[in-house]
Amino acid sequence: PEYRYSDIAVSCVGMLVDGLDALYARLKRAGIETWSEGGIVQLMDGTRSVVVRDPDVGAFVELFEKRAE
Over residues 10-64, the pLDDT tens digits come to 677 889 999 999 999 999 999 999 988 889 999 999 999 999 988 888 788 999 9
CA distance 24 to 38: 12
Alpha helical stretches, state H, 1-69: 20-29
Question: What pLDDT shows up at residue 54?
Answer: 86
Has residue 1 got a pLDDT over 80?
A: no
More confident residue, 2 or 56: 56
Query: By C-alpha distance, which of 22, 55, 56 is closest to 40?
Result: 22
CA distance 42 to 58: 24
Question: What pLDDT shows up at residue 34?
Answer: 92
Has residue 9 got a pLDDT over 60?
A: no
